């Protein structure tokens, strides 16, 4: 299991590689999978804004490409941005695909201030096939 400082370091290293020429808003993320493996990701902007990929999704895609993805495999996500920012709706949805209600989401700034959420707090009524919406 990675320590929070280890996840933070990986997210900061990834953030340094972010490609953000349009917004100048660099984001780095680290994801820890159920088997303890950790992957980093950075945001990659594109002049056609919808083609931009967020750091959180970049890290998750790296985990999937390494054969570590699947339902319930996302354990923790650490995101670093200045100013501190919660993941966008698209990232929350992708986290919901691979995480559980208890997946820990840590958002931080480069000064080290952090807030911790569960995926259920950030995505309380996520879409799942076969879910009973009355629950």
pLDDT tens digits for range 104-119: 999 999 999 999 999 9
Strand residue runs (E) in 72-121: 74-81, 104-108, 114-118
In the chain, pLDDT over 90 holds for what percent of residues? 90
Q: How confident is the model at residue 134 (pLDDT cuts 50, 70, 90)?
A: low
Asked if the model's pLDDT at residue 21 lies above 90, the reply is yes
Residues carrying an active site annotation:
56
**Mean pLDDT rounded to a whole number for the chain:** 94
Nearest to 55 by CA among 104, 19, 24, 9: 19
- 65 closest CA partner among 28, 45, 37: 37
pLDDT recorded at residue 126: 79
pTM: 0.93
In this prediction, residues 3-29 reach a mean pLDDT of 98
Q: What is the mean pLDDT of residues 5-32?
A: 98
The answer, yes or no, to whether residue 135 has pLDDT greater than 60, is no
């Amino acid at each position: 299991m990675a320590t929070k400082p280890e996840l933070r370091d990986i997210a900061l290293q990834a953030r340094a590689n972010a490609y953000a020429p349009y917004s100048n808003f660099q984001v780095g993320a680290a994801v820890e999978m159920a088997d303890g493996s950790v992957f980093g990701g950075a945001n990659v902007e594109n002049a056609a804004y919808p083609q931009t990929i967020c750091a959180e999704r970049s890290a998750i895609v790296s985990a999937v490409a390494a054969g570590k993805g699947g339902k319930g495999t996302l354990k923790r996500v650490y995101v670093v941005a200045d100013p501190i920012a919660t993941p966008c709706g698209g990232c929350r949805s992708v986290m919901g695909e691979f995480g559980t209600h208890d997946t820990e989401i840590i958002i931080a700034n480069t000064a080290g201030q952090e807030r911790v959420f569960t995926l259920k707090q950030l995505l309380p009524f996520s879409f799942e096939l076969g879910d009973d919406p009355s629950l």
